[in-house]
Chains A and B, each alone.
Chain A
Amino acid sequence: MIDKFRNKFVEESLDNIHDLEEALFLLENDMDDKEIIERIFRAMHSLKGGGAMFGFNDLSEFTHHLETIFDLVRNDKLTIDNNIISLTFESIDHIKHLLDIGDITEEGDRLHQNQFIKRVQAAANSDSQTVTAQEEQISEIAPEKEIPSSQVYLIDFLPNEDILRNGTNPLYLLDDLHAMGQAKVISFIQNVPTLKDFDPINNYCHWQILLNTEDSINDIKDVFIFVEDECTLNINPVGKGNILELKDVQELITESQKNQVALTVESLNKFSAKREEIAPQESKAVNASTPTPKKTQQKEHKISSIRVASTKIDELVNLVSEMVTIQAQLHLYAENDGKPGILQLAESIQKLSRQLRDNAFEISLIPLQSELMRFQRLVRDLSNELNKEVDFVIEGGDIELDKNIIEHLTDPLLHIIRNSMDHGIETPEERVANGKPANGTINFKAYYSGASVIIKVTDNGKGIDSEYVRKKAISKGLIDENAELSKKEIFDLVFLSGFSTKEVVSDVSGRGVGMDVVKKKIGEIRGEVTLDSEIGVGTTTTLELPMTLSIIDGLLIKVAGNQYVIPISSIEKIHALDNSIKFTKNFNNVVTIEDRQYPYINLRNSFNEDEPDSKTGEEQIILIKYEEKLVALLVDQVVGEYQTVVKALGRFLKGQDNISGASIMGDGSISLVIDTNRLIHNELAKKYQKE
């Protein structure tokens, strides 16, 4: 039955691990923050407790040792330092691994685990003078369990007369002892008064128990912990081995019961079971001192959400997409039919499906935060590896994106950050020599802009020389040496395949993966990536991403009889083609609308269609947002606004750069979704490229 909950535990543990990492980063900045330590402890505690419950015993054991460190810390017996934090980070990786593999089966893993535990134990004991007797006992529980050796204990249990009044039934405690091993109980009833004096709510009995158990003396004390102040209790190890099996001892017990004479430790100590086992452990007094509990003041997010498998959400979004398509069909039918009743219905359904679409879409959004930990970790690890000191500053971690987009985003962002760490940020010496603070900064900033999300990764490193990039592009034959390019256009060259600014491929970045791959990956999710840099000041990489992939509000247009969809989010304005609009054709195509000039692209040219013999009068100019400017697209006809479900083109048409997907229209026909950013970029780039 437990297996059913295993997956749940794994998911939950990933959350706990995430929380652990986050808290650890916070702790690194403020090593004395009790609340954070409490949070870390709690996360570890959940991992440990759950691990043992759900069959992750090695994980549980490992976390136990790790938890010990933080238990010492929260009880002021150990102070946090960088070593502990680094060790904990490493441990987190190990825990992740254990969560992945379950219990260890391979020899190598076992070895690693044991060595790791030793390191963790060493860290916990580094402050050994301050470790009190109590902690020693706690840490000894584990080793005692590892060597199963049984020991017989003589337990004198003399409850007070009023013990029954507190609702305690002493016989249940005897039951508990029986559960711990082999037990013999001697009951002493000589104190039971005559019926005249007998009060049924009083207890008049006491017991002696001989218990053979593998558990420690503390475990036995635990049984009595609730009645400790309502009884007299003595627990002593007696004899060697399981003396309960000896006939002499059994006779002694029978006699003791019969004569109501208590057994003594001395009388039992002379016995030794033949099968000599490990010498009995010293009995230790239980130190019942209670550390004051650290009450957590920190208000955490109340769990007001439920966990749903991501496949279910994908399915929901899919179904909603289908419904949006059907709804479009209905809308078309209603319009043709023209009956007011059905028109009204169609409109209501359109409104509802729009709300449903927005809701379903919102559900599939997850905050960026979930991935940021990896970046933070990367910066931390690389800082150590490269001997650079870098602060990673995050803004807008709560920005939400479609989970499919976030999944696509991780690798490119890791690459970008790696680049900044490797090529951008200088060594502390270099920085100081250039009058900069020794610590470099990588700023990660995310924010909404219209229907897009912008992510900017900015480093304050040495920057990129645009002239160097230009020359390099010329030498690689990517541009003509006479091409006049703006700074922005030059930096765009970095994303062309076959371009890598670093001659020597370093270990950290540039493992043959260039910025062109970043561009391609971001392009796959209909995003754009741009670069800006200033020498000596730093480099900014900007990603512009759509918030969702599946459903968009689109404008349906026609070019040479074919239907296309342009995402509404990228459209600024639509102009009818009248006399006020002037086209200029010199070295660039420019259109003048309301006294302003825009570069223009005739979509007939882009899609290799012939020019029409005559104008129909329905041609329109659509102004599209492209980077910081507007670009005009000339189309044959604007049909109208539609909600469209974007479907992937399939692998045969994957090479279609300017098209991001296809959409099935209400009447069953297909229209292609134009990726305006790509289209404009490609069209404008044409003029720089050598023929």
Chain B
Amino acid sequence: MAKTVLIVDDSESIREVVNFTLQNEGYDVLVGVDGEDALQFLDGRTIDIVITDLHMPNLDGLGLIRKIREIDAYKHIPILFLTTESQAAKKMEAKQAGATGWIIKPFVPAKLLSAITRVLR
């Protein structure tokens, strides 16, 4: 069965690139425009992995990660966040919030896919 990926980013172009890449690889993709928007998908359905941006309006990436970890059904799903290189401290914070790993922006599709397969195994 196809794996379901929830991607959350406030940038439309990034969303589209990720969406395009993943759908091409046969993933089912859910798309949230910010943290708050993404919460609607956490309704018990199967989500295999979450990929989220950190800087977003309404509910930022860290807030979203914390919310996801509060829900029993999603306590252990892998969460990757998108980040730029200059945020070592942010990464630490994201990890404490419950993130599994990260993808550094800018990324090429291959890098994105390998990061996902790595955590999904």
The chain A residues found within 8 Å of chain B, CB to CB, are: 1-2, 4-5, 8-9, 12, 39, 41-42, 45-46, 48-50, 52-54, 60, 64, 134, 137-138, 141, 167, 172, 218-219, 221-222, 225-226, 228, 286, 288-291, 293, 295-296, 298-300, 302-303, 307
Say how far A120's CB is from chain B's closest CB, in angstroms. 15
Q: Shortest 10 CB-CB distances between A and B: which pairs?
A: A52-B106, A9-B13, A53-B106, A300-B57, A8-B13, A49-B105, A303-B33, A225-B91, A42-B55, A138-B86
Interface residue? B29 (CB, 8 A): no
Residues of A within 8 A of B37 (CB): 302-303
A-B contact list, 5 entries, CB within 8 Å: A12-B11, A64-B86, A221-B88, A226-B99, A290-B93
Point out residues on B near A: beta carbons under 8 Å.
10-14, 16-17, 20-21, 33, 36-37, 55-58, 60, 62-63, 76, 82, 84-86, 88-89, 91-93, 95-96, 99-101, 105-107, 109, 118
Cβ-neighbour of A49 out of B14, B36, B62 (below 8 A): B14
**Docked complex Cα distance between A3 and B57 (Å):** 27
From A60, A286, A296, give the contact of B88 (CB < 8 A). A286
Whether A53 lies near B101 (C-beta < 8 A) is no
Contact with A226, one of B20, B101, B118 (Cβ below 8 angstroms): B101
> In the bound complex, how far is the Cα of B16 from the Cα of A39, in angstroms?
22
Report if A2-B11 is in contact (Cβ < 8 Å); known contacts: A49-B106, A138-B86, A293-B62.
Answer: no
- Having A49-B84, A295-B60, one finds 19 other A-B pairs with CB under 8 Å, namely A1-B21, A8-B12, A41-B55, A45-B55, A49-B105, A134-B89, A222-B88, A225-B88, A225-B91, A226-B95, A228-B92, A290-B93, A290-B96, A291-B89, A293-B62, A296-B58, A296-B60, A302-B36, A307-B12
Minimum Cβ distance to chain B for residue A62 (Å): 14
A41-B55, A226-B95 are known contacts. Are A289 and B17 too (CB-CB below 8 A)?
no
**Bound form: Cα–Cα A300–B118 in Å:** 35
Q: Among the listed A12, A141, A291, which residue makes an inter-chain contact with B85, where contact means beta carbons less than 8 Å apart?
A: A141
* Residues of chain A lying within 8 A (CB to CB) of residue B89: 134, 288-291
Inter-chain residue pair count (beta carbon < 8 A): 104
Please name all residues of chain B whose beta carbon is closer than 8 Å to the beta carbon of A303 when the two chains form the complex: 12, 33, 37
Cβ distance A57 to chain B, nearest Cβ, rounded Å? 9
Q: Which residue of A lies closest to B17 (CB)?
A: A5
User: Do B92 and A290 touch across chains, with their CB atoms under 8 A apart?
Assistant: yes
Q: Beyond A1-B109, A290-B89, is A299–B58 a contact (Cβ under 8 Å)?
A: yes
Q: Which residues of the partner chain A approach B92 to less than 8 Å between Cβ atoms?
A: 225, 228, 288, 290
CB within 8 Å for A53 and B55 given contacts A5-B13, A289-B89, A302-B37: no
A341 CB to closest chain B CB (Å) equals 48
A-chain residues with CB within 8 Å of residue B16 when the two chains form the complex? 5, 8
Across-interface contacts of B36 in A (CB, < 8 A): 302
Tell me the minimal C-beta distance from A202 to chain B in angstroms.
Answer: 20
Considering the complex, give the chain B residue whose CB is closest to the CB of A68: B86
Which residues of the partner chain B approach A288 to less than 8 Å between Cβ atoms?
88-89, 92
B residues in contact with A134, CB < 8 Å: 89
CB distance from B52 to the nearest CB of A (A): 13
Report Cα–Cα, A167/B99, bound state, in Å: 12
Closest residue of chain A to B36, judged by CB? A302
A290-B93, A293-B62, A302-B37 known; A12-B12 Cβ under 8 A: yes
A residues in contact with B91, CB < 8 Å:
222, 225-226
A41 to B36, CA, bound (A): 20
B84 touches A45 (CB 8 A): yes
**A627 CB to nearest chain B CB (Å):** 45
Min CB gap B76→A, angstroms: 8
A300/B62 contact (C-beta < 8 A), A8-B13, A221-B88, A225-B92 known: no
- State the CA gap A52–B17 with chains docked (Å): 13
A12 touches B109 (CB 8 A): no
Out of A12, A48, A300, name the residue touching B58 (CB < 8 Å): A300
CB distance B101 to A293 under 8 Å? Answer: no
- List the B side residues contacting A138 at CB < 8 Å: 86, 88
Q: How far is the CA of A41 from the CA of B13 in the complex (A)?
A: 18
Which of A137, A172, A225 contacts B118 (CB under 8 A)? A172
Chain B residues whose C-beta falls within 8 Å of the C-beta of A54 in the assembled complex = 13
- Out of A50, A299, A300, which one reaches B14, CB within 8 Å? A50
**Could you tell me if B57 and A298 are in contact, using CB atoms closer than 8 angstroms?**
yes
User: Cβ of B62 and Cβ of A53 under 8 Å apart?
Assistant: no
